[in-house]
Amino acid sequence: MTELTNLSALDQAKLIREKKISAEELLNETLAQVKKVDGRPGSLEEYIEQPEDKEKVHAFILVTEESAREKARSVDRKVAAGEELGPLAGVPYSAKDVYCTKGIQTTAASRILDGYHPPYTSTVIQRLDRADAVLFGKVNLDEFTFGGSNETTAFKPTVRNPWALDHVPGGSSGGSAAAVAANEGAISVGTDTGGSIREPASFTGTVGLKPTYGRVSRYGVIPFASSMDSMGPISRTVADAAAVLRVIAGFDPNDSASARVPVDDYLEELKKGVKGMRIGISPDYMKITYLDEDGNYSSTAIDPEIESCVKKALRIYKDLGAEIIEDVPMSNTKYSVPAYFVITRIEAYSNLQRFDGLKYGHTTKRPVEDMYDLYYKSRGEGFGYQVKLRLLTGLFASQEKFYEKYYLRAQRARAMLRSDFDEAFDPNGKYRLDVLLTPSTPTPAFQFGGVTATNPLLMQFADQFTSPMNFAGTPGISFPCGLSSEGLPIGLQAAGYDYCESKILRAAYAFEQATSDEDWRKVKPVVLR
């Protein structure tokens, strides 16, 4: 039998349903894989790098073996009794450590939440539990999801890219993507505020889906920027992403942004293909636009290997019967990074005020003079540099005297970004797109300590092709489309309009099937060779 951990989630569930393997057997294999490739879990203890750390993935903060084994055994009992099973019965999965789990530590990869055990469980985790999936661990991330490389986590050692261990896995859902790429569970759930599912998926050769804002409940997920946060799956196949979305999507009265919109049968929709579909390409997504030192917009080309992959993908889609619409204007894309910088920091400042070191999590042990001194010392010790930076910039930009200069202008840019999507996808308009095709990222994964990792401003531009969907509230999916000359994964993004997850999943699936026999599909991450 094929190695169990290499199978898709749907294939794993099928074997369990057919009684060819047990849920506990699959869990054992998954835990063994974690032990083999992951190394020591992330810790808040003083970190001294060991030589062996450079040879492991380090995706996990916590492995919940006891509760996972209990769940696996309950699935096996249901199988034995002939009871109805959930669609992901017995499938082990991990969750980014911002998903609250009752009685299980949830940290957001921050020292300030060390030892925090939530009294409730997020809606996403509840729905996966009802689908009989088996949660077996919490994975690492950029602290409070602030970052694009996984280097800002307080839990060391940080996550490494399974394809090149001296490269970052992307962020902030880097632990989720790395775990899936290293066969440490077929699926993981992450969060995406500006590309935090899609960028790490692109960097690790996995599939990452950001649903429409409001499609998946935010309840019980530690927020970053509440008006842009989306929850979604990372997987190795498009079908697995569709299966997970079918489970976690749907209205939730506990989330004020949750939409009362019917949920499609995404797996069934995959079969429809892309024949007749209008797939657009925009020149504004084929360059990196940035503000130079004089405050003027300048642009530079994306990585030529990524551009080549996009052009090849367009030819494949044309051969599959799609209609290619070229030169779709998305001229406001250049505003996405500056607007993201302002809005997310203001919202992060608002959301992080609740973490004061008093009610739960880290509290300073140093002498304090008063309540304010307690806050000052606890937050100073508990928050990392990137969190402090975003708190301070958010505080600065949210002041009344800067409202019009920063926040109001950023919101106007947000509306302009939305207008690009309205025009491109208008069914009665000039372009009438079903899908917008873009690179997922301007470059493949970069090395630890590279310029984009050390310069927070440059780091932001890695999100230039993903953050517009967060502003617009529209869905996007990143999926593998090739390897660079250095053997690093390259991701392609299919973006759509409100609640059209079925269309972008169809586009991603059609490409996946059409390229299934290509040589680059046969290459494995270095940790699996």
- CA–CA gap between residue 137 and residue 93 (Å, rounded): 7
- CA–CA gap between residue 317 and residue 320 (Å, rounded): 5
Q: In what order do the strands lie in the sheet containing 134-139?
A: 60-63, 134-139, 92-96, 187-192, 230-235, 207-210, 476-483, 489-495, 435-439, 278-281, 323-325
What CA–CA distances, in Å, run from 243 to 239, 322, 389, 448, 495?
A: 6, 24, 38, 34, 19
Q: Do residues 124 and 189 make contact, with C-beta atoms less than 8 angstroms apart?
A: yes
Q: Which amino acid is it at 74?
A: S
Q: How far apart are the first and last CA of the chain?
A: 18
- CA–CA gap between residue 396 and residue 346 (Å, rounded): 8
Q: Do residues 205 and 448 make contact, with C-beta atoms less than 8 angstroms apart?
A: no
Residue tagged active-site, from 94, 149, 172, 440: 172
96 is catalytic: yes
- CA–CA gap between residue 514 and residue 510 (Å, rounded): 6
172 is catalytic: yes
Residue tagged active-site, from 196, 202, 258, 484: 196
- CA–CA gap between residue 214 and residue 227 (Å, rounded): 10
Beta carbons within 8 Å of 522's beta carbon, 6+ residues apart: none
- CA–CA gap between residue 115 and residue 101 (Å, rounded): 13
C-alpha neighbours within 13 Å on the C-beta side of residue 453: 19
- CA–CA gap between residue 435 and residue 274 (Å, rounded): 10
Residue tagged active-site, from 56, 71, 78, 96: 96
Within 288-408, residue ranges assigned H as helices are: 304-319, 336-352, 371-382, 385-398
Give the pairing type, strands 278-281 and 323-325.
Answer: parallel
Helix, strand, coil percent values for the chain (each to nearest 5): 45, 15, 40
Give the pairing type, strands 476-483 and 297-301.
Answer: unpaired
- CA–CA gap between residue 9 and residue 239 (Å, rounded): 9
Known catalytic residues? 96, 172, 196
